[in-house]
Structure 1
Amino acid sequence: MSDMDASVVIPARDEGSRLERTLDSLIAQTFDGRFEVIVVASGTRTLAVARAHPIVDRALIDDSRMGPGTARNRGAAAATGDILLFTDADTVVPPPWVRRHCRHYATPSVAGVGGPLRPLAGGPAHRVRFRLLSDWWYRISWPLGFVQQPGSNCSVRRSAFEAVDGFDESLSFLEDTDLSLRLCETGSVVYDSGCPVRTSVRRHEREGYLPLLLAYLVGYLEYALPGRSPMRDHFS
């Protein structure tokens, strides 16, 4: 929406060359309104890239290195936009990305928006696995109430973000899912299947798809147990 201000927040830990590619993709945005870019960086090379890039409005030093949730909260605190968009420093967003997210907020009840992930590199096996795990899984789980905005492709209405106190910084894993479920208390969270981003497959290649899937399943089960996480209320 042309009358909205948006802020893009990028946590970046030791991501020099990858961050530059992410920032380059933001230059091509077709958004009619105003948007700013805030990078929360740790690592000398990463900070230098953020400070030198013309699209970046603010480059904050991440001294804590406590994880993406903490870095995103810090970036959000410095942001001025009505809509907060989050992506990662190893991710490339398409030209309509900001516009696609922001258009959903013309509906006052919308608190957040998420979209699918695609692999930045790799062959057909990566594409199929991403389609299953980072698109169709969301299409199935969201209508059932298990909303999971991926941290590299999500946005939040600022007022809703502040109402739920942002990301839970005590969580080092699934902090984006936790935020998504808490946002449902304030309004609707939309899945836009036509707004994908392309992200790195390095973690999948390093750890393997099956171990990652099992880790997420264990994480979901642990958070569902009483006393483990605010998410438990959404599993009861």
Structure 2
Amino acid sequence: MKVSVVIPTYNEEKNIGRCLESLCNQTMNRTEYELIVVDGNSKDATRDIARKYADQVIIQTRAKVGGARNDGADLATADIIATTDGDCVLPPEWIETVYQEFAAHPEAAAIYGTVYPLEYTIKNRINLGLANTFSRLGYYTKLLYYTLGCNTAFRRDAFMKIGGYKVCDAGDDLEIARRVVHEGTVRFCPKMRVAFSMRRYDQFGTLKSLYEWVHIVRKGGDSDECQYSKREYQ
């Protein structure tokens, strides 16, 4: 096994099949990677659908999204752990790109890439274009590694050594880069692209969603004032 892909889910029956189908139709042979779905005890058919595609489907034991990713990493059998989300769609070359990037850069502890909107509107293209620009600026200036949990991969030994993701409400995918960089380089790979769902921003508003994220991150990752995870979507 070369790559383990961890996918946290919660009430994703409308999206998880599409996500896992894209992960089953990769350019890398299906025997060379595994899919691990970690479910937050969904009340819908998420787990039933996931079992049709994934190698392992479990109910998470740790709290929040970071905890779910850590649960999945504990089950991973590969030397590379990649993470994405249950409402994303992965291009056919995504897993192979992850594997080749680590092979080409043995010093790397983590790699991350860009996102583009599943809901392809002008507003969403602009919003994610700005996010991708921020990712590039942060990487090339070495001021900030703007990783996203939907499109990041780690060497397993580095991930385990730092204790995985911080269990918090938001910002765990940003925070982890500040620790894993001490175990090797963190690389930005523009070829590593993921179709990202903008449903949060479409339903709750871009400014409100960004405000909540920034507010929680400034509070250290947890806040009683803002709810960011396990949202119910229309």
Please report the TM-score for the alignment, with normalisation by the length of structure 1: 0.86
The Cα shift of 1:216 comes to: 3.6
Q: In structure 2, what is the equivalent of residue 21 of structure 1?
A: 18
Query: Which stretches in structure 2 are left out of the alignment for 5+ residues?
Result: 222-234
- For residue 215 of structure 1, give the secondary structure of its aligned residue in structure 2: helix
Shift, 1:145, TM fit: 2.7
Q: Which residue of 2 aligns with 1:100?
A: 97
The residue aligned with 2:208 is 211
Give how far 1:220 is off: 4.5
In 2: Cα distance, 1:63 partner to 1:113 partner: 26
**Long gaps (5+) in structure 1:** 225-236
Find the aligned partners of 2:191 and 2:198 in 1 and give their Cα distance.
21
Aligned twin of 1:61:
59
Secondary structure of the residue aligned to 1:148 is: coil
| CA distance in 2 between partners of 1:220 and 1:198 (Å) | 24
- The code of the aligned residue for 1:69 comes to G
Within 2, Cα distance between the matches of 1:223 and 1:37?
31
Q: 1:223 to 1:102 in 2, by over 3 A?
A: same
Match of 1:113 among 98, 111, 117: 111
Confirm or deny: 8 A CA contact 1:148 1:181 kept in the other structure.
no
In 2, the alpha carbon distance for the partners of 1:176 and 1:60 equals 22
CA displacement 1:101-141 (0-9 Å, x = unmatched) = 111212221000111111101411211211112x1110111
SS across alignment from 1:16? coil
Find the aligned partners of 2:116 and 2:9 in 1 and give their Cα distance.
20
Letter paired with 1:6: V
Which residue of structure 1 aligns with residue 230 of structure 2? none
2: CA distance between counterparts of 1:196 and 1:151? 13
Which residue number in structure 2 is paired with residue 173 of structure 1?
Answer: 170
Give the residue type in structure 2 aligned to 1:177. Answer: L
Q: Provide the alpha-carbon RMSD of the alignment.
A: 1.8
Alignment coverage as a number of residue pairs: 216
Corresponding residue number in structure 1 for 2:194 = 197
The equivalent of 2:152 in structure 1 is 154
Counterpart Cα distance in 2 of 1:63 and 1:85: 20
Q: State the alpha-carbon separation in 1 of the partners of residues 172 and 116 from structure 2.
A: 20
Q: Alpha-carbon deviations, 1:85-105, whole Å to 9, x = none? A: 100000000001001111121
Does the Cα contact within 8 Å between 2:61 and 2:67 map onto a contact in 1? Answer: no
Cα distance in 2 for partners of 1:121, 1:98 equals 23
